[in-house]
Amino acid sequence: MSIPPALSRSLQGSIAHVTGAGSGMGRATAEIFGTEGAHVAVTDFNGESAEAAAEAIRRAGGSAQAWALDVSDAGQVRAVTEAIAARFGGLDILVNNAGISAFSPIDSPDYDAAWARSLAVLLTAHQLTIRAALPWLRKSKAPRIVNIASTEALGATSRDSPYAAAKAGVTGLTRALAVELGREGITVNCICPGPILTGMTAGIPEADKATYAKRRTALGRYGDPAEVGHMTVSLCLPAASYITGVTIPVDGGLMARNA
């Protein structure tokens, strides 16, 4: 297999789809793609927030279009992926970012519902979007997939087993598809964010966030969504052509810390 001829650090003209891009890390990642000159397909369950994010990218001089998309709906995933490829003329990059939080104790009466929804949105959706994107990724000069998991895939928090199981599944899916698709030059990687200031963590009282971050992370603070977005975008550069199958914590040193 030949080495890609140009190890470019430019995303100018690349076509990137970011799911769950109406808020938090997805939005920050979409904005960085926009700044770097990519055409950005901004999708979210919440169509209004997707439109606001796409508008922000366009106002900053970038190229973006929004679509409402529930990533757990296979029909919507296929239709929106086709619409994105038709609008921009292909697809080079897929970032599976959309997510929900689903705390549920194992003996909760709601456990079955939390399990089903977590697996659908956090894990099954990744293979749906990847399968829908493959025909276009196979035509790309630098095809890239990044899956967003969590440090909950590497360690665990009590009462969060549906989320932890789904996120651990994302790391396995990443490795398996990296191996399966590697000969085609398609890279598949996974990022495990630690505690990040997003919509998902907005409801946690500030004092509790500060205490947790000081006790658990090496850097002693929550992360900014863009600090994850920059890692995601870096894995999508044409020059990131020999990185595949890896799971990278972007967690302020949470996983490194024992005490």
Taking Cα atoms as reference points, which of 178, 156, 177, 174 lies closest to residue 165? 156
Compute the least distance from the CB of residue 190 to ligand NAI, in Å: 11
Give the footprint of ligand NAI on this chain (CB under 6 A).
19-20, 22-26, 44-46, 49, 69-72, 97-100, 121, 148, 150, 193, 195-196, 198-201
Q: Please give the C-alpha separations between residue 207 and each of 41, 147, 156, 212, 221, in angstroms, as whole numbers.
A: 36, 31, 22, 9, 12
Chain centroid offset of residue 182 CA: 20
Question: Taking the C-alpha atoms of 140, 142, 145 and 150 in order, what is their torsion angle to the nearest 10 degrees?
Answer: -160
Give the span between the Cα atoms of 162 and 104, in whole angstroms: 7
Q: Which is nearer to ligand NAI, 66 or 181 (CB)?
A: 66
Task: In whole angstroms, give the CA distance from residue 253 to residue 251.
Answer: 5
In the complex, least distance from residue 170 CB atom to ligand NAI, rounded to whole angstroms:
9
Q: What is the sign, positive or negative, of the torsion defined by CA atoms of 13, 29, 95, 10?
A: positive
Q: How far is the CB of 161 from ligand NAI (least distance, A)?
A: 14
Q: Which helix (H) or strand (E) holds 133?
A: helix 125-137
Instruction: Name the DSSP letter for residue 43.
Output: E
- Cβ 202 to ligand NAI shortest distance, Å: 8
Give the shortest CB-143-to-ligand NAI separation in angstroms.
Answer: 21
Positions marked catalytic: 163
